[in-house]
A = this chain, B = another copy of it.
């Protein structure tokens, strides 16, 4: 430990205290306690080039205890990390300026309350909801394994990055981290290191009031390597632990660090240190204890920036330079693979990626949308080598398994496999997919729609981060049948649709399934949720109906009134579209002209110009019936004040589907009847 080490650590602590004090808001306790370990990692180990924070083989640092954001902002500032724009261009400006630090938690500062991916470069993933960062880090480590397996060649060790995640007591208590740790242990991810900042203090008090398990023993049970740092202030001990991590080749490593929340402050070891500024006097007192000038704020002593330049800066530049030189040689030796890497980095797809999608001829008997989805996915995955994913133990049901030759299973002895077995761990599954998408692979994961509830917080993060994860959900309604209400989604569609930035697709037939995959595969900054049926859906005869490409507008006129002047509009998604078409025929027999609008993606429809929306749903036609085997919540927007929604208002029931359709009123007769009533009402008014 040198004087500059100590000075650097205390500079970080000072910046954190000052930023939080200035904001009169924030979480000083964690940075004060764990700063020495974070500093040791960054300065002595992290293979990260501040001048190119998106260098593909960089080590990843995930601040899973995201409330300690001031710690990350201080490190990003002191190391001079450059900003990156949304098109992955490195910008001249710093990612975090001193002004940003001074405006911590203020509008438009690059130093928000929690780390936000894309907003501040150097942030590898958005964190704050506890447990998410560590779980996401598992996906990053798995992606590293996969990249190495596919792209490393003799003499070309392109990918060997490590993933570090800094976690607190909260992260260790959350179920999502347990799921992820079990998965990481199974895969023997020796490129993964979680640093458990064990300060034993949470908001309600000492962890002894509720969290008395033996965390180290638990991780050993998961198959992890566990090492302990008994004093967070001991930089050499931390260094030894990181060396132990590097020496481990079979298992992920947990470094259990005993730290003191609010170290050096008047509220050290108290819950009071967690979430409130120390106050001006407290800050001064703490600085005095640390040997820092008590009255200077945002103080960066001479030599500290330079010290970081000579440490992480010099190391990162050298490693990145060598890597780029290697990549140049790789381009010559392996041009095809090098081209893939370039496209991955820019989130582009191979030429002709959607050239050979399956064609589904009209078929009244049809095919379940989970099945057609499986076929389309397999066609796409053969064209897009970095499209990969798995299921929360449901791939035989969700049909997301890649079955073509060479797809393989991702396993410790087969890290190039593209089928992930994520286990009955939906929450970790979604978080792992997030981690892979942050590494710019194109991941999907699948489960039953009902279990999207288990993964909700991670799905939200994919939307908040604007990363193109593909969430595949099957068994999308009471169509589940006999398994009953615990397995029949009702309100899940509404919940997903309400989530900003998530595109939710519920295609009505195999044709729309193909178009859904075409649309979502091309997404670069948006996650999507595919909502697919268990039961067969007729493949519509598009020669007599509008083409499925209308899906790109979110909703489109599938079948119209003969003269384009409908008496009534029937709106539906997924399995209810063919129901609406049957009702339309029934109504035609009564001389009522019905238009059927398929609306597989509300979000895309809402983005269309008003002119298009009014063409599909003419304001003058107020007789509208919406039908969907899901909560009616949200449908009023489209059926309007005078419309009728045929949806679910209760939970489902356990029975064969045909009986449920009658019980809950999803029959052509009921739809037609509702339409007739509305038309009669209008004519009554007209008369």
Residue ranges of A at the interface with B (Cβ–Cβ < 8 Å): 23, 25-26, 66-67, 105-109, 112-114, 116, 126-130, 169-170, 173-179, 182-183, 185-186, 202-205, 209-218, 220-223, 271, 391, 393-397, 409, 411, 421-428, 450-451, 453-454, 456-457, 460-461, 463-464, 481-487, 490-491, 494-495, 497-501, 619, 631, 633-634, 636-637, 640-641, 648-651, 653-656, 659-660, 663
Whether B182 contacts A486 by the Cβ 8 Å rule is no
Q: How many monomers of this chain does the complex have?
A: 2
Instruction: Identify 10 new A-B residue pairs, CB closer than 8 A, beyond the known A170-B424, A218-B218.
Output: A105-B654, A112-B484, A113-B486, A114-B654, A129-B454, A129-B486, A178-B179, A453-B460, A456-B495, A500-B649
A341 to chain B, nearest CB (A): 28
Q: Which of B210, B485, B494, B659 is in CB contact (< 8 Å) with A423?
A: B210
Given A128-B486, A218-B218, A221-B221, also A633-B113 (CB < 8 A): no
Query: Taking the nearest CB of chain B, how far is it from the CB of A64, in angstroms?
Result: 12
Contact of A107 among B186, B498, B655 (CB under 8 A): B655
Closest 3 CB pairs of A and B: A175-B175, A128-B486, A112-B654
The answer to whether A491 touches B495, judged by C-beta atoms less than 8 angstroms apart, is: yes
Question: Is B210 touching A653 in the complex (CB atoms < 8 A)?
Answer: no
CB-contact partner of A105 in B221, B482, B619, under 8 A? B482
Residue pair B113, A483 in contact (C-beta under 8 Å): yes
Task: Give complex CA distance A454, B421 in Å.
Answer: 23
Bound Cα distance A176, B457 (Å) = 14
6 interchain pairs, CB-CB under 8 A: A113-B654, A116-B484, A128-B484, A129-B453, A182-B213, A619-B641
CB-based contact B126/A486 at 8 Å? yes
Known: A174-B454, A175-B427, A498-B634. A212 touches B223 (CB 8 A): yes
Contact A218 B222 (CB under 8 A): yes
Report yes or no: B424 in contact with A482, Cβ–Cβ below 8 A. Answer: no
Write out the residue numbers on chain B whose beta carbons fall within 8 Å of the beta carbon of A648.
500
For A109, list chain B residues within 8 Å (CB).
654
Find out whether the CB atom of B655 lies under 8 angstroms from the CB atom of A483.
Answer: no
Question: Are A23's CB and B482's CB within 8 A?
Answer: yes
Which B residue sits closest to A481, measured CB to CB?
B25
Given contacts A170-B393, A498-B634, contact A106 B484 (CB under 8 A): no
